[in-house]
Structure 1
Amino acid sequence: MTKSRAKLDQLNYRPSGRDLDVEIFHFSDLRRRVTSEQILALYHYSFHTLICVTEGAVTQIVDFQPVNCAAGSLLVLRPGQVHSFGSDKGWDGWMVLFRAEFLPSETQTTADLLPVLGLDRLPDHLSLFTADFGAVNEAIARMQQDAGSPAPPKDVHALLRYELCALLLRLAILQDQHMGIDIAQSPGVQRYARFRRLVEQNYAGWHQVSAYAAALGCTEKSLTRAALEATGQSAKNAITARIALEAKRLLVHTDRPIYLIAEGLGFAEATNFAKFFSRETGFTPIKFRKQYKN
């Protein structure tokens, strides 16, 4: 695993020479323009990235966990996540980079256009069947072609925005089909989705299931049942895992003192944070940081 640190937006990839709010290119194009060291760095994203593997196989790293990717694999990487390509050889695929503001927000969407909610429904890793992979590959290829259109930038932006919304909605539909429509639309899974959004917004301050249950207007038992139905893990485990993940990200991609990381994650004492981190990861905060920074 690489111990380097970087941000992908520092690579300044602009293959079209135009300032667009979305970039579409092949991984092999990126590989030809940067060094192997840059490719193999451990990245901390400030934007959304879709990686659709079109040929070969590679084990990539998402939030410090290995993900085996073959042709038809699609990674959905979100702002704040940590990622490594794993290898710069033996595979190729599409990369689609866009910032959250490029998508319509919930307050901007119509009843028929819900890309933000569709993005929330996607897991980090999808495995597409042959027919679905063909449709997704074709959609991304069309976006790349349209990005180079000589049309006025305003029109190109609008076209790419609609195409990206359509792509994300297609992926959300495929994910629902993979789960089973009845399961994907069940009250428990829907409640868990709302819970996960709340966790993303409040994990640093809300460490107890009771706070989320109160915000959702349900009991702790019903929220735990929803979490078990959706993931097989309890709501408490979901909260704990999210806090531990953010701690890992901050330890690796910032030089912030550990006591400030502890404070920012809602721990009254750095010693309590250290005990929590060691219990959840098997490493002390100092050892974990050294593993990636040395």
Structure 2
Amino acid sequence: METRPVPSFYLYGEPHRAVAPDFVHAELLDDRSRPSDWTILPHAHADLAQIFLLETGGGTMRAEAETFAIHAPSLLIVPPGVVHGFDWQRESTGAVLTASIRHLNDLCASYPDLATVFDRATVQRIDATRAALVRAAIGDLMRELGWSAPGHRAAVDAALLAILVGALRTVSGASSGVVAAPGHHSALVARFRARVEERFRLREPIVAYAAALGSSESRLRVACAQVAAQSPAAMLDQRALLEAQRALLYTNLSIAEVGYSLGFADPAYFSRFFTRHAGISPRGYRSAATWETNARRAGTGNPPPVPGIDAA
């Protein structure tokens, strides 16, 4: 188990640096996967979101503590900050879209329903017709990014919007009956999530978040229920749990130290918090994750199912 933090890259293998507000990038899957022998080690992108289109082949995606099986054709969604890695089947083909979360937020301000695309990391099968449409939009984007001509920025955004719409309809289902939340609710929840990301270690009460956002606690609760189908407190606890899982998986911090780093002054209270939300104690979670990793490396098969560790 490593003591150093999970690497944070700009693009995979490139040192982290400030992301331009309008950054958009597209490349073929094997541009980075082939030189890495089709294995992309766990890493994160602080300010970038990604959409992968897998056209042929397959593999597995690890996103935080979950493992997803991938079968082509599929779309893979990776929100910013999510620790993720891949084991691709050799000669898999596809493409990768990477975009600044600030630029995506600007687009979502005009089209609020698109914000749900990056609610969580996921792998979704995609039908051949929609896969062809997304692939065509990625092709348009790659060509437009390779040169500059009148209307360049508009053409980039047009291709980007086409990809996002394809992802939205794949993730939510074109006829699922899901109604987009009003734009002001989406904007408030986006601001709440950003503040949670900055301050979740402080364990501040929800009323303090609402006040800082210029909202009432009841209005924030309604917005979170409509946009995220969760209460603000549940979203805050979910973020703290995610960080605890990362620390247990990727560091040698003691369980008490993990709790202290997340604002829990009492290790016993942290242990109860983790067990209540993950369905397993911090010690059991770490032991099961270590067993799984060793089993995969040794090729001895999958570990027994444990709550909070999904092996798809």
Q: TM-score, with normalisation over the residues of structure 2?
A: 0.65
Q: Secondary structure at the match of 1:137?
A: helix
Residues 26, 142 of structure 2: 8 Å contact kept:
yes
Determine if the alignment matches structure 1 residue 277 to structure 2 residue 312.
no
Preserved contact between residue 58 and residue 88 of structure 2 (Cα < 8 Å): no
Q: 2:179 aligns with which of 179, 184, 204?
A: 184
Could you say which residue in structure 1 is the equivalent of 2:57? 56
Q: What amino acid sits opposite 2:131 in the alignment?
A: F
- Determine the C-alpha separation between the residues in 2 that align with 1:113 and 1:223: 19
Structure 1 residue 131 corresponds to structure 2 residue 129: yes
Residue 267 of structure 1 corresponds to 264
Q: Give the Cα separation in 1 of the matches to 2:64 and 2:175.
A: 23
Q: Give the C-alpha shift of residue 51 in structure 1.
A: 1.0
Q: Contact 1:42–1:83 at 8 Å: present in 2 too? A: yes
Corresponding residue for residue 160 of structure 2: 164
Rounded Cα–Cα distance in structure 2 between residues aligned with 1:162 and 1:168: 10
Structure 1: give runs of 5+ residues left out of the alignment: 14-19
Give me the whole-angstrom Cα distance separating, in 2, the residues matched to 1:175 and 1:286: 32
Q: What is the match of residue 41 of structure 2? A: 41
Superposed displacement of residue 60, structure 1: 1.5
Aligned to 2:303: none
State the SS of the aligned residue for 2:90.
Answer: coil
Contact 1:40 1:88 in 2 (8 A): no
How far apart, CA to CA, are the structure 2 residues paired with 1:72 and 1:85? 16
Could you say which residue in structure 2 is the equivalent of 1:73? Answer: 74
Render the CA deviation track for 1:128-154: whole Å, top value 9, x for unaligned: 3332221111101221222333x37x9
Q: How does 1:155-234 map to 2 (within 5 A)?
A: 159-172=155-168, 175=171, 177-178=173-174, 180-181=176-177, 183-185=178-180, 195=189, 198-199=192-193, 201-202=195-196, 203-205=200-202, 217=216, 219=218, 223=222, 226=225
- 1:198, CA displacement in angstroms? 2.3
> What corresponds to 1:17 in structure 2?
none
- Give distance in 1, aligned partners of 2:203 and 2:174: 32
Alignment correspondent of 1:32: 34
Match for 1:121 among 94, 105, 116?
116
Change (3 A) 1:96 1:105: closer
SS across alignment from 2:87: coil
1:224 Cα deviation (Å)?
A: 11
CA–CA distance in 1 between the matches of 2:67 and 2:187? 24
Distance 2:89 2:7 in 1: 16
Percent identical: 19
Q: Is the 8 A contact 1:119 1:168 kept in 2?
A: yes
Match for residue 141 of structure 1 among 125, 139, 142: 139
Structure 2, gaps ≥5 residues long: 16-21, 295-312
Equivalent-residue separation in structure 2 for 1:70 and 1:176 (angstroms):
19
Deviations 1:250-274 (CA, angstroms, capped at 9, x unpaired):
4445677765643453323334223
